[in-house]
Chains A and B, each alone.
Chain A
Amino acid sequence: MALAQSDPTEAANAYVDAPHDWQMWFPAAGSPMQAHIDWLMQYVLWIMAGVVGLVGCLMAYAMFRFRASRNPVPGRITHNTVIEVIWIVVPTLLLAVIIIPSINLIYYEADDGAPYMTVTVTGHQWYWEYSYNSVPGLDYTSYMIPDDQLKPGELRRLSVDHPMVLPVGKKIRFNITSGDVLHGFYVPSLGVQRYAVPGTILTSWTEIPKAGTYYGECNQICGADHAAMPIEIKAVPLADYLAWVKDAQANYTENAAPASPLSPLSSPLPHNQLAAASLGAASPR
């Protein structure tokens, strides 16, 4: 189904946050959450690199200094209370240093309250379904573009036919569930990941400061085509998003509810009945 002549999501094409060849670190942070994760990762990894380096140096020194050809007569020391206490206390302190910022990150990630809008994400074998809680009837499916139908500029195994479209700079809540088996809603560049569990709604959230295209993938084994249900998110300025909503309501009709006098909404409401209703079902357990 063709969108209107001028594509309201075009602004998202200016910046593409996709994996690149020989990438060795996280994707460029597309959200504050991913920036937080990136920071904590570096923090913990540098501490642990120090530990690995220390152990490596101690081992290398022991192997060199106490090799049989250099130290033919072995010592007999098998206890040293001071050193044994040190190697219990110092690692414990290191863990405390890790735990404090780490717990802050857990709380930050869990803070999905007061979103501007909520998108219900439903995993299916093997596609995603996006339902915009604040736009009645806006509920559509998103399939991977098969390898043999890729057009120039599209990414194999990442591009989809109908991406999720979100406004930039707004807090977006995801209500994640599944229609059949477990799936994993995983968008690394936004730092978002939750299982999609049938019968349960798990929540996560994001806020995307920069217009662009962000990619993710299904990250929980879900059957034969587990590798063929990627996620593509286009973040666009609010005006473009609202234009897209109008287009989408006109075009994505398959799953739409019967038109009501209130619909189509000209703008998504920060909190509407649908979003509030699903919040009740979504309380994390």
Chain B
Amino acid sequence: MSSTTHDADISHGHAEHGHARPGFVRRWLMSTNHKDIGTLYITMAVIGACVGGVLSMIMRSQLMYPHNNIVTSGEEWNAIITAHGLLMIFWFVMPALIGGFGNWFVPMMIGAPDMAFPRLNNMSFWFLAMGFIFVMLGLLLGNGAGAGWTLYPPLINAHYSPGVATDFSLFSLHLAGISSLLGAINFIATILNMRAPGMTLHKMPLFCWSILVTAFLLLLAIPVLAGAVTMLIMDRNFGTSFFEPAGGGDPVLFQHLFWFFGHPEVYIMILPGFGIISHVVSTFSRKPIFGYLGMAYAMVVIGFVGFVVWAHHMFISAISTDSRIYFEVATLVIAVPTGIKVFSWIATMWGGSIEFKTPMLWAMGFIFLFVIGGATGVVLANAGLDQELHNNYFVIAHFHYVLSMGAAFTIFAGFYYWIGKMSGHQYPEFWGKVHFWTFFIGVNLTFFPQHFLGLAGMPRRYPDYPDAFAGWNFVSSVGAWISGLSTLIFFYILYRIFTSREVLADNYWGEGATTLEWVVPSPAPHHTFEDVPVIR
């Protein structure tokens, strides 16, 4: 990191060029600036991750020993697992990657002054914030909403889940969904219309590609979720029977609708991370990304195929033998573009001059652990094996390898990569590495033994389990405590960043960092570009 004294003239010029500095309320509650809204999203993600993380710690504490009584009732347990899933997906990973880093860096990377629709951008954020209140009410009111984040009827119907908590959780998904949908429209309009002169789509940074593909996935998937959730709300409250067998409905229809949204959703959570990792690997290898076009179109293919594989979540539900075969083969196909990405990252490193700064550690950790999660994904794509593995801890281990270690590692990689650009202060390198290694050990210790629990037959969503599963559950809980302590280190790092007096150069990573955000000062000024950048 080159922390030289910044040229004072330029930064002052930027600060004084803008309008009068807005007050707190004006700046943060009525914000139309993409950087401020990005900051709001990242703050939301920190809050969502903290609440979701505390719920994880409660769950792992309960499961540390068999016959434990930290969680006192099944309803309470179900409310916790439901809220954990919803919070981590909709209020941690998505706001961090899409609303947070996407808002901050997509306009900067394409040389645009702001997002296409700044007020819509503000509205997107506040819908999400309201949704957070609703999902917390869903957790805390009465017995809580306890049908799992998959919301399967009939359990979620009014007869089996009485009380207003479940309705709050359902409406929270509507709010988060509207937020994502408006955000997606905004990103698509911005990326397609506001690129700097000379920046063709085929010269656009991969992070912008990843957000573009993600935005299209949101645009197509969220309305299906909204429809399914609306039908649930009507079944619960207005006497319809979309999913009620006694009224001619079918619970399996909901599974199809949910996973038609739900499977693209997993790519929505990981594609922006792919974009970040490409930049980090390229920057710290001091080498342009290998196979740029292959990388971009691999994401397009993943996004496209991601829409036609949904029923692999229903291999042991009511689908026919031929459907099992089709969905298995389609699912396996996704391994090919994903392989292109992984091998291209390694090829980017190949021949490079690699510096192991904290963001690069997170990126390396991500690639390796994501490959492990991808390998178990190939295992789970086999419909015949799902008859043994579906819904047990092998699945939990698989999707936490691609989310808790995949998506979360990309978020941390992006955070350490860009925090200097966002805040103007650099993180302490030593503590960043301590954070990485403790978290790496913690999450692996948490989730690797869960493969064994799954193979031995432990079902998910159990607050108590047969005694034979006690050993690996204890190891897993110890890992969770290490990850939890590691997160405290992250908060210490945040404290160090915001109390730092260090002044950063425009491009504090040096020659490897080549995208447009590195030509503007750190922190990036309120108005990014004084002149429209022209790309050769």
Q: Which residues of A contact B (CB under 8 A)?
A: 18-27, 33-34, 36-37, 40-41, 44-45, 48-49, 51-52, 55-56, 58-59, 62-63, 66-68, 71-80, 83-84, 87-88, 91-92, 95, 98-99, 102-103, 105-110, 125, 147, 155-158, 180-182, 184, 186, 188-189, 191-195, 197-200, 202, 204, 215-228, 230, 284-285
Contacts and interface: CB of A to CB of B under 8 A. Distances in A.
Nearest to A25: B455
B353 A195 contact: no
Contacts of B387: 33, 37, 109, 191-193, 204
Given A71-B351, A197-B252, 5 more contacts: A37-B385, A68-B353, A75-B351, A106-B384, A200-B251
A184 B391 contact: yes
Interface string B57-79: 00000000011000001110010
A63 B252 CA distance: 48
B328 A103 contact: yes
B388 A188 contact: yes
A224 B147 CA distance: 10
B197 interface: no
Contacts of A88: 336, 339-340
A239 B407 CA distance: 57
A51 B468 contact: no
A11 to B, nearest CB: 23
A45 B388 contact: no
5 contacts: A59-B346, A63-B364, A76-B288, A95-B378, A106-B324
A189 B332 CA distance: 26
Contacts of A76: 287-288
Interface string B71-97: 001110010000000000000000000
Interface string B185-207: 00000000000000000000000
Given A184-B316, A199-B251, A221-B461, A40 B385 contact: yes
Contacts of A108: 384
Interface in B332-390: 332-333, 335-336, 339-340, 342-343, 346-347, 349-356, 364, 367-368, 371-372, 375-376, 378-379, 382-388, 390
B467 A156 contact: yes
A198 B289 CA distance: 52
Contacts of B319: 285
A157 B466 contact: yes
B318 A195 contact: yes
A198 B388 contact: no
Nearest to A18: B468
Nearest to B383: A106
Contact of A41 (B354, B379, B463): B379
Contacts of B155: 181-182, 221-223
Given A71-B353, A157-B466, A79 B328 contact: no
Given A221-B152, A284-B318, A37 B289 contact: no
User: Is chain A's binding surface mostly helix, strand, loop or mixed?
Assistant: mixed
Interface in B320-337: 320-321, 324-325, 328-329, 332-333, 335-336
Nearest to B154: A181
A44 B378 contact: yes
Contacts of B490: none
Given A19-B468, A40-B382, A285-B320, A156 B353 contact: no
A22 B367 contact: no
Contact of A74 (B285, B384, B388): B285
A99 B328 CA distance: 8
Contacts of A157: 66, 464-467
Contacts of A230: 466
Contacts of A73: 353
Contacts of A20: 456, 468
A84 B341 CA distance: 11
B317 A197 contact: yes
B457 interface: yes
B353 A66 contact: yes
Candidate in A107, A125, A155, A156 with the most chain B CB atoms within 10 angstroms: A156
Nearest to A65: B350
A194 B321 CA distance: 13
Contacts of B376: 48
A110 to B, nearest CB: 4
Nearest to A56: B368
Contact of B250 (A49, A199, A225): A199
A55 B466 contact: no
Contacts of A23: 452, 455-456, 468
A230 B467 CA distance: 13
Interface string B140-171: 00000011100010110000100000000000
B468 A21 contact: yes
Interface stretch (B10-18, B175-183, B436-444, B469-477): B469-477
Candidate in B155, B245, B386, B469 with the most chain A CB atoms within 10 angstroms: B155
B291 A105 contact: no
B154 A180 contact: yes
Nearest to B464: A227
Contact of B332 (A59, A99, A106, A191): A99
Contacts of B352: 62, 66, 71, 74-75
A180 B329 contact: no
A223 B153 CA distance: 11
B495 interface: no
B379 A226 contact: no
A223 B457 contact: no
B533 interface: no
Contact of A182 (B152, B325, B342, B390): B152
B103 interface: no
